[in-house]
Amino acid sequence: MVHRMIAGIGTQLRKGVAEFCVLGELAREPMYGWQLASKLGDRGLVAGIGTLYPMLARLRADGLVQSYVAPSNEGPARKYYELTAAGAARIEEFRREWAPFVDAVNEAIGGPHA
């Protein structure tokens, strides 16, 4: 897992969107903790399991994610996380919001992307 903890700006940006990134990954397929932490860690979106598990707990408390236990491909039983219907709706809402938001920020900050 790549730990790319860029302090300051990166951290602030991540805080706003990290939970939606979790929802986005789970929208593709249910995953177990380590798998999710690896994927998001490789993208530099979470530092590791220390950040991920509290996020998952919040998402479960909010009814966006649920978990179940199932045998994994390698054999031992694992706890898998998946989106609930509410979670699927929420990530869809976020996708609709995100693109215009990125455009608006790009215009505001100027530079080569504007």
Partner 1 sequence: MRDVESNEPVGRYLADLDLALVVLPPATAADIREGVREELSGLDPDAARERIAQLGDPARIAAEARAEVDSVSAPRPTRTSTWYIVVTGVAFAISGFVPAGFSLLVGLVMLWVSPTWTRWEKWLATLAPGGTAVVAGVIVAGIAAPQAADSGVIVSVALSAGAVALSAANVVIGILLVVVGVRRVGIAGRGAAGAADRPSPTEPVRSVGQKE
Residues lying near partner 1 in the complex (CB under 8 A) are found at 1, 15, 32-34, 47-51, 53-58, 60-61, 66-71, 74-79, 82
Phi, psi values for residue 21, rounded to 5°: -65, -35
In whole angstroms, the minimum distance from the beta carbon of 103 to partner 1 comes to 27
In whole angstroms, the minimum distance from the beta carbon of 21 to partner 1 comes to 14
Query: Which amino acid is residue 108, in one-letter code?
Result: A
Q: Which residue do the tokens 């998402």 mark?
A: 59
Nearest Cα to Cα of residue 20 among 106, 113, 99, 108: 99
In whole angstroms, the minimum distance from the beta carbon of 28 to partner 1 comes to 15
